[in-house]
Amino acid sequence: MDKIQRINEAIKWLVFEGLAKNHTDLAHKLGYKKSSFSQIINGRVNISTSFINRLVTFAPILNRKWLLNGEGSLFLSQPKIVQEEVLKGHFRGINLLMENDATYCSKSEIPEFLYNKRGNTFVFYQGGKMNIEVFKVPFSSHNTYISSFSDATALRSHFASVDFSIDYFELGYYQAFEISGDTMNGGNIEDTPDGAEVLAREINKDLWQGGFKPTKYGFILVTKDHILHKDITNYSENTGLLQLSSRNVNYGVMEYPLEEVLQIFHVIKRFF
């Protein structure tokens, strides 16, 4: 991981934990113009020691040496250790990562837990196995979901939680959806049938204007009127329209205004 990647990993965490709403908000809090901040995090200009110092001053838990040269890990603090009686009455240390410093995940003999403010729970096991618990949203529950999607407490009262095994961990907000319809099922191995469950990671709105690359399993779009599973084949900044396509040849290409979209998720795993 190079310096730019390390900086962007730190920025993802800051937004993920709610310390900044988005890149624009973080730029303002660090004392940068949006354009200058964008040039720095995209590698168009050299990352100065001053920029790293501002990051560390803003979030002292960040490891300055790691940001500069990769030494150590992203965070300075270790997880809190809570003693709890588990497994046949024996006491074993449980590394409980609290929300206010849910940061560092070391290897141990028992699972470690990471929570975020959006209702996701990540479980890390020795040997690299990882599980994630998320809310599952059926497409048919669109109205209920859009009325509460930013409130984890409300989501918990309306939607069941499901567990998935994941191959890698990346900071972000994850959601599961229950697919309704066969628009993305063209019969190929990477297509998704009606009734499938998918695990998806939200794409931050700051990244929407840059366009969307082709993906293996497509995108979930939560709009004001629907929840859609589509490929995003084009986006016009001039018209503000997304071009959405299906993998089932019985469905045509459609255009949809980006301003009507509330959330976009990248599908990373499917189960059926």
| Tokens 């499917």 sit on residue | 270
Domain with CATH 2.10.109.10 in the chain: 108-271
Q: In terms of pTM, does the model score above 0.75?
A: no
Token pair in block for residue 219: 């995108």
Domain with CATH 1.10.260 in the chain: 3-69
Provide the pLDDT confidence category of residue 85 given band limits of 50, 70 and 90: very low
Q: Is 56 helix (H, G, I), strand (E, B) or coil?
A: helix
Q: Is 60 helix (H, G, I), strand (E, B) or coil?
A: coil
CATH topology of domain 108-271: Umud Fragment, subunit A (2.10.109)
Q: What is the per-residue pLDDT across 112-162, written as a single tens digit (0 to 9) for each?
A: 777 778 888 888 777 677 888 899 999 999 999 999 888 888 888 899 888
Q: What is the per-residue pLDDT across 168-223, written as a single tens digit (0 to 9) for each?
A: 777 789 999 999 999 999 999 999 999 999 999 999 888 888 788 889 999 999 99
Strands annotated E in 35-129: 80-86, 90-97, 112-115, 121-124
**CATH class of the domain defined by 3-69:** mainly alpha
